[in-house]
């Protein structure tokens, strides 16, 4: 199984603080969303481990990954 995930908002915003190149969360999240397709865990696993997702704001739906 291959896994891929992006960093946190704080990670990207810290990069942007080093040099303002548009590499903060707001600049990069649109590209992250374009590249990803989110596949949630099975519902029984999500319930057992109390997983939640903010799909609309953090994940894409039609990307190649």
Tens-digit pLDDT profile for residues 17-65: 998 788 899 998 888 888 877 777 788 888 899 888 776 766 666 766 5
pLDDT of residue 19: 85
The runs of H, that is alpha helices, within the chain are: 9-18, 25-35, 43-49, 55-58
State yes or no: pLDDT of 5 exceeds 90.
Answer: no
pLDDT of residue 51: 83
pLDDT of residue 2: 60
Judge whether 63 and 34 are in contact, CB under 8 Å: yes
pLDDT of residue 13: 93
29, 31, 34: which is closest to 63 by C-alpha? Answer: 34
């Amino acid at each position: 199984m291959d896994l891929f995930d992006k960093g946190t908002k704080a990670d990207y915003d810290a990069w942007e603080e080093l040099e303002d190149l548009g590499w903060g969360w707001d600049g990069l999240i649109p590209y992250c969303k374009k590249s990803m397709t989110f596949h949630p865990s099975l519902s029984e696993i999500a319930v057992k481990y109390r997983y939640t997702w903010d799909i609309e704001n953090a994940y894409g739906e039609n990307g190649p990954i």
